[in-house]
Amino acid sequence: MNRKYADRFFQYFFRMVSLVSVLALGAILIFVFAQGLMPFVGATAPGIRLVVQNIGELAVNGRVYRNVPDSISLEEDARFISLRFPSGDAGEEVVDIEVNADERDARKRLVFARNPSAKVSYPEAYVVTLGWPGLMAGRDRKIHIILPEPPYSPVEFIGGMQWQPVRDKVFGVFPMIAGTVLASLGAIFLGVPVALLCALFMAEFLADRPAAFARGAIELLAGIPSVVYGFFGLMVIVPAVKNVFGIAAGNTLLSAVVVLALMILPTVITIAESSMRAVSLSLKEASLSLGASKMQTAWHITLFHAHSGVIAGIILGISRAVGETMAVILVAGNSPQLVFSPLESVRTLTATIAMEMGYASGRHSEMLFSIGVVLFIMILALNSLILRLRRGMDVV
């Protein structure tokens, strides 16, 4: 009877295989959210980290360590740090540092004593560098003291106007959220009317063969990779915007809007057209028999009865525009600033992730995942809206 066992096996096999989608979605949610929420729940490290060279002796809270590595992570309760360098050409150097953990201002948290010749500098927020001029060039000594960054406030993240991830460690994404929303809405305002005109025309006025041709063209439009759209935008639309408005650079919100509008056309047209085609013929015939013209029937009956599908198409178009990355990077200019005019450079959430992930580290990298979370929440909200509309469509 091994046929029977084989049958049983495959039944479980197919069930297990189909779980992959559920597990994948779960993993995506857990991983992205866990990483993205990290900056808001904890500090970057439990205690101070030191990066030093040729250190002889380290004393923390009076306890002495020898043979310490170049990079040292201290305990959270480290109060008094004393570093001793071996005596060399410049004589023995001793640095005493007192940590004032309650001080909120990072620059005042450390109090230095007994380092007469050292220069204190602050190359980045939360990083202090002590340097001694060496006797020869290239022999100067340096200590980098990396302070733990406290948990970031979600309000400052969402509402913050500044994005200075490297130097100042300021992560305000409001300009990017505004950029994403403006670019998507702009694309919708520009693209949807054209898309609806096309869809209605294809569904109501075109014969089968031309309609099939138009549909083929629109499928091709949907298949063109987004990088190619971006490239085309950079080569054609950006210079056009620059020349028409006489501005210094054409990489603007307007260029992004035009490219995105082009990219959402196929999505909106396809969904709107199929829902228009689903409107029953008897409704249209009823309207025609009442003496309405074909055009009036199309606008009043077909468009009206297909409205939930049309809205679903528009929302799907918005979510495409919100999630679009590469095309926008190439044409939008990418300055993380709040825009007040369509002729200014703008940066979206997605562009920030794709451009900075390559070199980001530490909290900066985590913050890019936090941007991913913001994006994710926007998309999930749009998706649930579509699901609700679909359910409504099934009832009708």
Q: Which is nearer to another protein, 90 or 393 (CB)?
A: 393
Report helix angle 174-200 to 307-323, nearest 10: 140
| Least separation in angstroms between CB 67 and another protein | 31
In degrees rounded to 5, what are phi and psi of residue 56? -95, -45
| Least separation in angstroms between CB 289 and another protein | 17
Q: Which is nearer to another protein, 52 or 234 (CB)?
A: 234
Q: Which is nearer to another protein, 78 or 288 (CB)?
A: 288
Q: With contact defined as beta carbons under 8 Å apart, do 174 and 161 qualify?
A: yes
- How many CA atoms are closer than 13 Å to the CA of 4, on its beta-carbon side? 1
| Least separation in angstroms between CB 219 and another protein | 6
Closest CA to 372 of 138, 28, 56: 28
Quote the CA–CA distance of 350 and 183 in Å, as a whole number. 12
* 167-181 residues labelled b (16+ CB within 10 A) or e (exposed): eebbbbbbbbbbbbb
| 97: alpha, beta or left? (left if phi > 0; alpha if psi -120 to 50) | beta
Q: Which is nearer to another protein, 286 or 380 (CB)?
A: 380
Q: Which is nearer to another protein, 82 or 345 (CB)?
A: 345
| Least separation in angstroms between CB 248 and another protein | 19
Quote the CA–CA distance of 324 and 259 in Å, as a whole number. 10
| Least separation in angstroms between CB 18 and another protein | 4
Token look-up 């260029």 returns: 255
| Least separation in angstroms between CB 340 and another protein | 26
| Least separation in angstroms between CB 166 and another protein | 19
Q: Which is nearer to another protein, 132 or 369 (CB)?
A: 369
Q: Which is nearer to another protein, 6 or 111 (CB)?
A: 6
Strands (E), 247-295: none
Q: Which is nearer to another protein, 48 or 188 (CB)?
A: 188
| Least separation in angstroms between CB 350 and another protein | 5
Burial class (CB in 10 A: 0-12, 13-18, 19+), 341: exposed
| Least separation in angstroms between CB 245 and another protein | 21
Q: Which is nearer to another protein, 82 or 325 (CB)?
A: 325
Question: Bridge-partner residues for 57, per DSSP?
Answer: 66, 84
Residue 375: which residues within 8 A CB-CB, separation 6 or more? Answer: 180, 322, 323, 349, 350, 353
Q: With contact defined as beta carbons under 8 Å apart, do 316 and 274 qualify?
A: no
